[in-house]
Structure 1
């Protein structure tokens, strides 16, 4: 079996783009056959020769739109070859799409092309991809309907899991759930959500926040509901709020190279390298433009996942990127108007519980990106780093795994974390009212004992009873256990 389509073009033109997730291969099959890891192609369907343009047109038809690879390949194909192909087939859907992209990536016009007539065609098939608003190109009669713009665009495939999660209407259910709780219970649930989201966001970074850091991050989360457009100045202000060490506070996007590392020594310990500082401003402009418009144009949870992961992949600051990326998830949901003011889905709790899945989503981009850097360890934390690709690596990326993860975490945050905590608080209230109505106990002591009883599945240990023996009569310990059994039973 031989590689064809995108894989063939990548090899033939020596491109630094990521390998196709599902490569197309020539095989002894009678029709195009998708399998778990590859797309099997019969000889009668394969390109007639090895010219890169023919393989690109085949790939656009059978493999979908890979902007990262297309941007690199189309810059290496001469204008005369594109013109010859469009003159030969002026109504062809895929050559029209290729010509449209050629002009965009080469920043020049294909002069002498025939006048294109016929119906408009979408660049991204809405049945296969999550798409954005359509922008018409009259010359090639192509609708650009990607997620973002040709300056910064991600792709999200419509997997079975993504379609199922979208159909579950997570945000609508979150609003309904909080409305059903009523004012007081809703306020208590949200107080828990803000504090727990803060704790989990720090725990993801293996850090236990001080009271000052926790307060700073809670205040940051509350700003998500402000209708503020993102820009460099605003993001710098948020970074300064999230970072308590004044020496780590930024004044603008970074002008230095940063990287993430593991405990391993030397180059092997460098696990991810964000884009070089000279292209950070341009990449952030593309991401910020998307973040300011997409939450009201596409499903807000999809926009939130793209913005959150896109931010952490660019890593525009020297510190605080992880916390800010998770803030931006909430910011996108709030800016969409799909969540009631003050409502927060504690997605970081779900992320912390599913750290292996979070890491897998990050690695879907970070691992292949790391391979495009040459790293030489000099000494200590001094490295020589050389980027062996171009900005298309960070400008066009496949966000399918990240979106699937983000949707799943939002679902768990609502159906598991918020519901479980709300049920816990409701049971606590019932027990508290029952005991407080029968006995005269200090509120602080009663609170501690009820929580201890609930956490220990209805039992107060001998040690716990001994600790309160001077202030709480023995019958109250027993009464708390009895009330717990009534409520839970």
Structure 2
């Protein structure tokens, strides 16, 4: 017999979460994880029943009042979870591997028209891909699976068998979920796409074209810098051309492999295409060469299923009015967590941001958002966002080192990559997009306008070739409006002191 809340009479530490006070009891997913010993990454927020008659949050706990306390039964905690926490496919999938089908059948037969029992019925059959011995429902209003007040829903498809509207934002093989938070609702409410398109519409086409060319090159270079690489200019330009075509071709596994070929021009030292072995991100011990993983990739035998699921989910949500930034989050972060290639995953991951925003028409065609450049400015936050997914999952992956100092994954891990909460990643990416729309793009356009004014002044003041004028302005920009001693004695030795002074004063007047 499963006993829930056996520790409710004393302070409880739950999977590294802060201790609950004496008298508090677990509720919903926390109770289910504890009682059934589920081996699953713990949700970002958990629920408990407190002793006071007011709801409040304490660190990562949502504390409910005694009147919210569910029955200490499987069904009681499942109802509480669906009602107050939403759908957590990772926890439910792990739970359904533990309990017997008859336990769910009893719940459904006890409340055949209950909205929560029908949701559980659908979820059991959807996750397990097997039918229970229960006749189709004939009464009861159709109920949505995802509560749109708690989580972002996908397009709704009716399941007549359960009289449930399946509005999960994904497929069985890949379905991350995103919780509705104040931060995300605020960002969506700002209608950043409309702001970007409006600002772009007010910019002269020639100016916009120059800004786009600069930002494209800047983004390509930043994507390599994030990976700790400093490739020659031709490779940066080559990847930039690939980014400029984002959203123009249909996404597929072969398209992803094509992108890898562009990223990794010299593939003599890697096996191109989907991995045939396990993989990890991290370091090796200096003395032994032992792997020291920060992230362990999906198993090679699961890649085809996961990537097909990822692409199917993308196509499903593209048909819907699912928010473009949230969709980009699910696709791009889902890809990099799966990590299907030996090399090139990070740059393709950031390419996928461009792909979604371009295909969904988030901004005007021809303009590429400098996503990687903004991420580079937020590199520590970016690393923490990746670690937020990776670190908790290391505890659930059994592995051993191979002779090649790689990892060999020993247990089933596919569910770690197809069912996860992408809220943290969505908040990070939305902040990057917000910064791009409100700061990066306007600043680049403003810079070019000022550049043109200074450029015209210099040409009218001194007869100087275009290339030299451009070099002079770049030197001034790099040195806070002052021409360095080295530049004044080499490239611009023919300028007089009074001419340099006049140009510097004009720079200060224009750029401030």
Normalised to the residue count of structure 1, the TM-score between the two structures is: 0.93
Show the 5 A alignment for 1:255-294. Answer: 255-262=276-283, 269-294=292-317
C-alpha contact (below 8 Å) 2:284/2:290 kept by paired residues:
no
Q: Which 4+ residue blocks in structure 1 deviate beyond 6 angstroms?
A: none
C-alpha contact (below 8 Å) 1:146/1:154 kept by paired residues:
no
1:356 maps to 2:380 = yes
Show the 5 A alignment for 1:2-81. Answer: 2-30=25-53, 32-49=55-72, 51-81=73-103
Structure 2: 5+ residue stretches without partners: 1-23
Q: Structure 2 CA distance, aligned partners of 1:378 and 1:251?
A: 20
SS at match of 2:398: strand
Q: Structure 2 CA distance, aligned partners of 1:172 and 1:92?
A: 42
Show the 5 A alignment for 1:378-457. Answer: 381-387=405-411, 389-457=412-480
Query: Cα RMSD over matched residues?
Result: 2.2
Out of 347-356 and 251-260, give the one that drifted further.
251-260
Which residue number in structure 2 is paired with residue 235 of structure 1? 256
C-alpha contact (below 8 Å) 2:136/2:160 kept by paired residues:
no
Q: Structure 1 CA distance, aligned partners of 2:267 and 2:292?
A: 28
C-alpha contact (below 8 Å) 2:279/2:407 kept by paired residues:
no
Show the 5 A alignment for 1:5-404. Answer: 5-30=28-53, 32-49=55-72, 51-113=73-135, 115-226=137-248, 228-247=249-268, 252-262=273-283, 269-297=292-320, 298-377=322-401, 381-387=405-411, 389-404=412-427
Normalised to the residue count of structure 2, the TM-score between the two structures is: 0.89
Q: Structure 1 CA distance, aligned partners of 2:156 and 2:80?
A: 24
Q: Structure 2 CA distance, aligned partners of 1:423 and 1:212?
A: 28
Q: Structure 1 CA distance, aligned partners of 2:323 and 2:347?
A: 23
Which residue number in structure 2 is paired with residue 476 of structure 1? 499
Q: Structure 2 CA distance, aligned partners of 1:196 and 1:409?
A: 15
Q: How many residues align?
A: 486
Q: Structure 2 CA distance, aligned partners of 1:149 and 1:287?
A: 8
C-alpha contact (below 8 Å) 2:169/2:175 kept by paired residues:
yes
Q: Structure 1 CA distance, aligned partners of 2:402 and 2:303?
A: 25
Q: Output one character per residue of 1:150-190: Cα deviation in whole Å (capped at 9) or x when no partner.
A: 33111111111111111122222222222222111011100
Q: Output one character per residue of 1:404-431: Cα deviation in whole Å (capped at 9) or x when no partner.
A: 1111111112222222222222111101
Q: Structure 2 CA distance, aligned partners of 1:46 and 1:114?
A: 32
SS at match of 1:459: coil
